C-alpha cells in the first residue's frame, strides 16, 4: 500500500517497539478536509465499516426493525448472550431460523462467551459469528419484499442491488465489489468516500444513527474501542472494520476515518480518536487501544503521532 504515513507508535516498558502507518482524514462541520494524512482518495475495503450504510439500505427497502435489531445489523458484535438474543428476535419476527443464515460459521469474539459455547458442547455456527445481525437483517428484508433467501448474498440479488445503490449514493462512489469475510458483498471506496457516508448518516439523525448511539454496546462490546468511543463522545456514531479501518461522525458534520496500512486493528481506535481531536472533538486518544502487556500486566500503549 503506497502513499501512507506514520500515524501511531507502540511502546513497551518505555521503549518504542512498533510503528503503524496508514491514512487518515477528518472533516469539519462544513465538510472541509482539516486533516489529510496519506492518500485519502485511494480506494480501500472499509469492510464492516460499511455496515451502517448496508443497514440504512435495508430500512429503505422496507425492513422495520426495533432500534436494538438495527444496532445489531450495524454491528460486528461480540457474540454474548445479549447480542445473540437480539439476532434471534430479528429472525423470529420474520419467521426465519438460524439455519437460514448464510454467513460464515464462527465462535463469539468474546472469549468468555466462546469458552461457554465450547464447554456446553457447542461449535462455530453462523448465529454466533460477529456479522449475524447484518445477515439476519438482510434475510428479514428479503422476507418483507417476497424475495428468495437462498441466494441473498449474490451481487445480482434484488437485496444486494438495492444495498449497492444506497452505498454508492452515500459514499459518492463504489469502485469495486468483492466478497467480505462473512460472505456478503464488500464495497470498495476511498477513505474520503467512507467519511462522506458516515457524515451524511449522522447529520440525518435517522434510524441508523439513533440505533447505534442509543445502543453502543450492541454495536461491538463493552471492552471494544467502537463501543467505548461512542460512550465517550455523546451523539457520535462509529464503526470499526477488519484490516484496521475505523470511521466516526457527529450530527454537526464533523467526521473522520482511518485505514491502518498493514491491517492491524490495534492502532485504529487510537488514530480515529486522534483524528477527531483535530476537528475539535473532546476525546482522549490515550483512552483507546489495547494495553500492551508484559507478563499479563500493562507495560505500554499505542499513541498517535498527531492530534492531541
Instruction: Kindly write down the DSSP assignment for every residue of 184-238, as one continuous string.
Output: SEEEEEEHHHHHHHHHHHHHHT-HHHHHHHH-HHHHS-TTSHHHHHHHHSTT-EE
Low-confidence stretches of the chain (pLDDT < 50) are: none
Whole-number pLDDT of residue 263: 95
CATH 2.60.120 given to domain 5-304: no
| Phi, psi values for residue 161, rounded to 5° | -65, -40
Whole-number pLDDT of residue 308: 75
Planar angle of CA 206, 272, 221, nearest 5 degrees: 65
Whole-number pLDDT of residue 300: 97
What is each CA distance from 136 to 43, 54, 225, in whole angstroms?
A: 28, 12, 24
Q: Residues 8, 265: contact at Cβ < 8 Å?
A: no
Domain ranges of the chain: 5-304
* Helix, strand, or coil (residue 293): strand
User: What cell was used for 204?
Assistant: 440525518
Whole-number pLDDT of residue 2: 63
For 144-162, b/e burial (b = at least 16 CB within 10 A) is: eeebebeebbeeebbbbeb
In the chain, the largest separation of any two C-alpha atoms, in whole Å, equals 60
Q: Residues 108, 80: contact at Cβ < 8 Å?
A: yes
* Helix, strand, or coil (residue 271): helix
Placement of cell 450495524 in the chain: 74
Q: What is the DSSP letter of 168?
A: H
User: What cell was used for 307?
Assistant: 492530534
Amino acid at each position: 500500500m503506497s502513499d501512507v504515513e506514520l500515524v501511531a507508535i507502540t511502546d513497551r516498558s518505555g521503549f518504542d517497539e512498533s510503528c503503524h502507518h496508514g491514512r487518515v482524514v477528518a472533516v469539519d462541520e462544513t465538510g472541509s478536509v482539516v486533516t489529510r494524512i496519506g492518500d485519502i482518495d485511494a480506494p480501500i475495503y472499509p469492510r464492516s465499516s460499511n455496515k451502517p450504510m448496508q443497514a440504512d439500505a435495508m430500512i429503505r427497502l422496507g425492513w422495520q426493525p426495533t432500534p436494538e435489531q438495527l444496532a445489531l445489523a450495524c454491528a460486528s458484535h461480540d457474540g454474548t448472550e445479549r447480542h445473540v438474543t437480539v439476532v434471534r428476535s430479528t429472525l423470529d419476527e420474520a419467521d426465519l431460523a438460524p439455519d437460514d443464515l448464510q454467513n460464515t460459521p464462527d465462535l463469539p469474539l468474546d472469549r468468555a462467551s466462546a469458552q461457554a459455547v465450547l464447554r456446553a458442547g457447542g461449535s462455530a455456527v453462523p448465529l454466533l459469528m460477529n456479522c449475524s445481525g447484518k445477515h439476519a437483517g438482510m434475510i428479514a428484508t428479503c422476507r418483507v419484499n417476497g424475495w428468495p433467501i437462498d441466494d441473498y448474498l449474490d451481487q445480482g440479488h434484488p437485496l444486494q442491488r438495492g444495498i449497492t445503490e444506497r452505498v454508492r449514493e452515500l459514499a459518492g462512489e463504489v469502485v469495486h465489489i468483492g466478497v467480505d469475510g462473512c460472505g456478503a458483498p464488500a464495497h470498495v471506496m476511498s477513505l474520503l468516500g467512507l467519511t462522506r457516508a458516515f457524515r451524511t448518516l449522522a447529520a440525518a439523525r435517522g434510524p441508523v444513527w439513533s440505533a447505534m448511539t442509543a445502543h453502543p454496546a450492541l454495536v461491538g462490546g463493552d471492552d471494544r474501542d467502537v463501543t467505548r468511543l461512542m460512550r465517550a463522545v455523546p451523539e457520535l456514531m462509529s464503526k470499526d472494520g477488519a484490516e484496521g479501518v475505523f470511521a466516526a461522525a457527529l450530527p454537526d458534520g464533523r467526521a473522520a476515518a482511518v485505514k491502518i496500512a498493514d491491517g492491524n486493528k490495534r492502532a485504529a481506535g487510537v488514530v480515529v480518536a486522534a483524528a477527531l481531536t483535530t476537528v475539535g472533538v473532546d476525546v482522549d486518544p490515550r483512552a483507546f487501544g489495547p494495553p500492551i502487556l508484559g507478563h499479563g500486566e500493562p507495560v505500554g500503549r499505542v499513541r498517535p503521532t498527531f492530534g492531541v
